[in-house]
Amino acid sequence: MSTLRRRVVVGVDDGAHARPVAELARLVQAHDSRVVLSTGSGESADLSSVLAVMDLAIATGDEVTLEVADSPAAHALLDALEAVLSPS
């Protein structure tokens, strides 16, 4: 199975703090998918783990990569995750 990747610049105030990270985890768990978030420095975490993602200390303006197995719902999931990380 192929993997979809999307780069996102974090635009939430104060970076990836508890509230947006919890929302990301809820989205991933609701889709029953495994999503890996990777930082520019090569660190990564399973997006369903709030503590693992918060340990990455992602700041506003950081670029991260989201990776999910390709599936019918994968594009919609990536869109929803991007909307949380980088709201318009």
Give the chain's domains with CATH numbers. 3-85 (3.30.1340.10)
Dump pLDDT digits (tens) for 38-67.
999 999 999 999 999 999 999 999 999 999
Residues in the chain: 88
Q: Closest Cα to residue 17, out of 59, 64, 47, 63?
A: 59
Helix (H), strand (E), coil (C) string for 50-72:
HHHHHCCCCCCCCEEEEEEECCC
Average pLDDT, the chain: 93
What pLDDT band is residue 14 in, cutting at 50, 70 and 90?
confident
Res. 16: pLDDT tops 90: no
Tell me, what's the pLDDT at 61?
Answer: 95
Q: Which pTM was predicted?
A: 0.92
Is the pLDDT reported for residue 3 higher than 80?
Answer: yes
